[in-house]
């Protein structure tokens, strides 16, 4: 056709397109045809790009969403002529195209055609875009498609084509007193989930997921005299945190221990009482719990803290749900996690389906939190970050092996069951192989050698792939000539006994210049003190569990408002220096947040 084409595929494709269109090309107009539209994102684009004159949207009105508080802002944009809609109801025609035409001063800059919708959820999915820069061809393609609309005599609407969410008409409103002193995003989440039977709250670490669930619990307790609650946690530290939180609000609570023998007072009258237990105990004993609780048949709230720890037990949870509903009680459930992802993608899908599907998932991505929500409170929720990527280029031989392992991953994609619970998937095998490459460890050692002074006064956690690497890094660190002899470094992982773990943890709380080198632990469920720096060497749990890991350092320090979170990241790259597709989302996300932190 004589047109030059380029393509992009992977995660964060939508964000890269918006950067290309507005940051690079300085386009002042966007025409968009998409299946799903987030009008909240549209508002963010106008806020970020002051030169943006107009966005025109072609879509089904039923596929547009926005937050209630943004209604006025959207109406203002329409009144100013900056926002226009050409919409068709789904019962007339069904739009499933995704096209984006970027213009500057009325002239086409480029056309993007592919799979991402205009919603930030598309950044979390594997998407593909083809770019067309031939301006004549752009105009020809674009004008041929809206002609379908024009045949129906559609004109831009004068009103927002979808009603605002009816927050005021929800059956059971949350008491405003419960929302006092909460962060803005916590209030938004509670207004969203207040009348849902099941929900997933998927927001960044350090942003108060527990507080959301706790307030939801208090809300249900205030409305239902017969309801009880069970809280599932992965660690004893979280168990203690939950019980302390409940004690402060004078809510009766008990620990569900290795058996149910000490819970007689609970089963005698479970109403408005809370059991807190480990996932392992619950899955061992939930049938016995059901036999005891069915006598009084209370309604139940089930809270999954760090809900990804329930993966592999969906059948048990379905059985438990059936038990509760069989004797006529209602079951509310809420899952909490900074990232629900796993290399076992079928388990993620099963959990989402158990919780009622994707529409029951309240999600704020890390970039969106930094670009929007972090600014809405008197003080930030999360620290700014300083991102330092350390690139390791694979050799040609290593790149060939990576491609072979990636073929196995592709073969397994889409299969309902790719392995047993304990058998590594192809994605896990690839991750383990990649992070064990000697070159990646050498890059980490080089950084330690050249920055040894920085370990003298900052609390650091190093996340590595294996216990063997952890031991090597600890020995290497403490043998450097510049290592502060008053500081300490411990390996904290599953190979160590309880006494060692407790000792090293207590030392960490007291010691500046302290370094914990962890194989897989410490990324969640630990009540860590102030952490200044996190070093990422990789994981085999999921592509996104780095979000949990950096969360150790992100919480805003009210006593030191100028503190930042240092994120040192070993990024595995192709021989030409471009990050591997497996690494791109983490690299680009942290790079963009670093730029936000610098005010770029």
H helices of 166-208, in order, are: 176-179, 184-193
**Cα(526)–Cα(529) distance, integer angstroms:** 9
HEC letters along 485-542: CCCEEEECCCCCCHHHHHHHHHHHHHCCCEEEEECCCCCCCCCCCCCCEEEECCCCCC
Domain assignment of residue 307, yes or no: yes
Contact between residue 534 and residue 553 where contact means Cβ atoms under 8 Å apart: yes
How far is Cα 303 from Cα 200, in angstroms, rounded to an integer?
10
Residues 143, 192 share a domain = no
For the sheet with 361-363, list strands across it. Answer: 253-255, 274-278, 227-233, 299-305, 331-337, 198-202, 361-363
Which of 151, 178, 203 terminates a domain? The answer is: 151
Report the SS3 class of residue 85: strand
In this structure, the answer to whether residues 279 and 339 fall within a common structural domain is yes
Helix (H, G, I), strand (E, B) or coil at 563: coil
| Residues of the chain falling short of pLDDT 70 | 1-5, 62, 68-69, 88-95, 124, 145-172, 413-424, 494, 501, 509-513, 519-529, 539-541, 598-600
Shared-domain flag, residues 438 and 587: yes
Measuring CA to CA, which residue among 66, 77, 87 is closest to residue 161?
87
pLDDT score for 146 = 56
Phi, psi of 570 (to 5 degrees): -80, 110
**Angle (CA) 184 236 428, round 5°:** 80
Residues 143 and 185 in one domain: no
Residue 199's nearest CA partner among 305, 296, 292, 332 is 332
Residue 379 lies in a domain: no
* pLDDT tens digits, 26-51: 999 998 888 888 888 898 899 888 89
Q: Is 356 in the same domain as 390?
A: no
Question: Can you give the three-state secondary structure of 327-373, one letter per residue?
Answer: CCCCEEEEEEECCCCCCCHHHHHHHHHHCCCHHHEEECCHHHHHHCH
| Residue 332 sits in the same domain as residue 424 | no
Contact 114, 98 (CB under 8 A): yes
Interacting residues of 309 by C-beta distance below 8 A, sequence separation 6+: 232, 234, 279
Q: What are phi and psi of 47, to 5 degrees?
A: -65, -40
Among 126, 151, 176, the domain-final residue is 151
Please report whether residue 445 resides in a domain. Answer: yes
Strands of the 29-33 sheet, one edge to the other: 5-10, 127-132, 107-114, 99-104, 29-33, 54-59, 83-87
Spatial distance between the Cα atoms of 583 and 590, rounded to a whole number of angstroms: 11
How far apart CA 319 and CA 530 sit, in angstroms, is 41
Residues 6+ apart with CB under 8 A from 565: 382, 383, 384, 385, 386, 531, 532, 533, 534, 550, 553, 554
* Number of Cβ atoms within 10 Å of the Cβ of 139: 14
Closest CA to 61 of 211, 196, 191, 164: 164
Same domain (yes/no): 406, 539: yes
pLDDT at 422 (0 to 100):
47
Q: What is the pLDDT of residue 4?
A: 53
Cα separation of 59 and 124, whole Å? 22
Considering the domain architecture, whether residues 239 and 118 belong to the same structural domain is answered as: no
Give 219's contacts (C-beta < 8 A, 6+ positions apart): 172, 174, 175, 178, 190, 194
Cα end-to-end span (Å), the chain: 39
Contacts of 446 (CB under 8 A, 6+ apart): 390
Whether residue 426 is found in the same domain as residue 495: yes
Domain that holds residue 185: 167-364
Give a yes or no: residue 371 inside a domain. no
Question: For 207-223, how does the pLDDT look when each residue is reduced to its tens digit (9 = 90+)?
Answer: 999 999 999 999 999 99
Residue 208, in any domain of the structure: yes
Q: CB within 8 A of 420, min separation 6: which ones? A: none
Residues in the chain: 600
Same domain, 532 and 570: yes
For residue 77, report the phi and psi dihedrals to the nearest 5 degrees.
Answer: -60, -40
CATH number of domain containing 51? 3.30.870.10
Residues 427 and 497 in one domain: yes
CATH number, domain at 518?
3.40.50.300
Tally of structural domains, the chain? 3
In a domain, 161, yes or no: no
Q: Is 494 within a domain?
A: yes
Q: Is residue 375 part of a domain?
A: no
pLDDT for position 231: 97
161, 162, 186, 165: which is closest to 174 by C-alpha?
186
Same domain, 145 and 178: no
């Amino acid at each position: 056709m004589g047109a030059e084409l380029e393509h992009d595929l992977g995660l964060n494709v939508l964000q890269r397109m918006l950067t290309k269109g507005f940051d690079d090309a300085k386009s002042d107009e966007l025409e968009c045809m998409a299946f799903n539209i987030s009008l909240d994102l549209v508002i963010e684009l106008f806020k970020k790009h002051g030169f943006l004159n107009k966005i025109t949207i072609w879509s089904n009105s039923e596929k547009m969403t926005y937050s209630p508080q943004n209604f006025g802002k959207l109406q203002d944009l329409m009144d100013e002529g900056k926002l226009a809609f050409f919409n068709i109801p789904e019962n007339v025609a069904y739009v499933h195209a995704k096209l984006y035409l970027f213009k500057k001063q009325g002239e086409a800059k480029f056309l993007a055609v592919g799979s991402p919708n205009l919603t930030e959820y598309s950044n979390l999915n594997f998407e593909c875009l083809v770019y067309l820069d031939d301006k004549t061809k752009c105009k020809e393609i674009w004008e041929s498609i809206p002609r379908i609309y024009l045949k129906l005599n559609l004109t831009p609407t004068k009103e927002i084509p979808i009603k605002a969410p009816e927050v005021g008409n929800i059956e059971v409103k949350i008491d405003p007193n419960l929302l006092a002193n909460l962060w803005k995003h916590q209030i938004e989440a509670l207004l969203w989930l207040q009348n849902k039977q099941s929900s997933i709250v998927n927001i960044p670490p350090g942003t108060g997921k527990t507080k959301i669930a706790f307030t939801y619990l208090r809300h249900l307790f205030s409305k239902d005299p017969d309801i009880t609650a069970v809280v599932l946690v992965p660690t004893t530290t979280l168990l203690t945190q939950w019980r302390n939180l409940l004690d402060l609000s004078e809510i009766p609570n008990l620990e569900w221990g290795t058996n149910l023998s000490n819970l007689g007072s609970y089963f005698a009258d479970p109403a408005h009482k809370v059991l807190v237990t480990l996932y392992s105990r619950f899955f061992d004993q939930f049938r016995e719990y059901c036999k005891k609780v069915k006598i009084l048949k209370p309604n139940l709230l089930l809270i999954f803290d760090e809900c990804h720890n329930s993966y592999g037990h969906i059948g048990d949870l379905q059985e438990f749900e059936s038990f509760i509903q069989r004797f006529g009680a209602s079951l509310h459930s809420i899952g909490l996690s900074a990232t629900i992802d796993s290399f076992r993608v079928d388990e993620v899908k099963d959990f989402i389906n158990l919780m009622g599907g994707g529409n029951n998932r309240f999600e704020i991505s890390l970039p969106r939190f930094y670009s929007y929500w972090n600014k809405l409170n008197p003080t930030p929720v999360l620290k700014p970050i300083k991102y330092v990527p350390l690139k390791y280029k694979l050799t040609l031989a290593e790149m060939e092996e990576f491609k072979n392992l990636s073929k196995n991953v592709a073969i397994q994609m889409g299969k309902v069951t790719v392995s047993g619970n304990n058998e590594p998937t192809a994605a896990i095998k690839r991750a383990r192989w990649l992070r064990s490459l000697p070159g990646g460890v050498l890059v980490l050692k080089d950084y330690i050698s050249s920055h040894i002074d920085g370990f003298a006064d900052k609390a650091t956690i190093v996340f590595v792939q294996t216990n063997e690497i952890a031991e090597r890094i600890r020995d290497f660190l403490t043998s450097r000539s510049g290592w502060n002899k008053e500081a300490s470094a411990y390996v904290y992982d599953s190979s160590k006994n309880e006494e060692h773990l407790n000792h090293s943890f207590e030392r960490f709380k007291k010691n500046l210049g302290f370094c914990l080198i962890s194989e897989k632990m410490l990324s969640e469920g630990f009540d860590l003190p102030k952490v200044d720096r996190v070093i990422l060497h990789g994981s085999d749990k999921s592509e996104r569990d780095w979000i949990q890991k950096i969360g150790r350092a992100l919480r805003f320090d009210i006593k030191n408002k100028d503190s930042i979170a240092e994120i040192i990241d070993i990024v595995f790259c192709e021989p030409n220096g471009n990050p591997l597709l497996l690494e791109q989302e983490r690299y680009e996300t942290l790079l963009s947040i670093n730029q936000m932190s610098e005010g770029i």
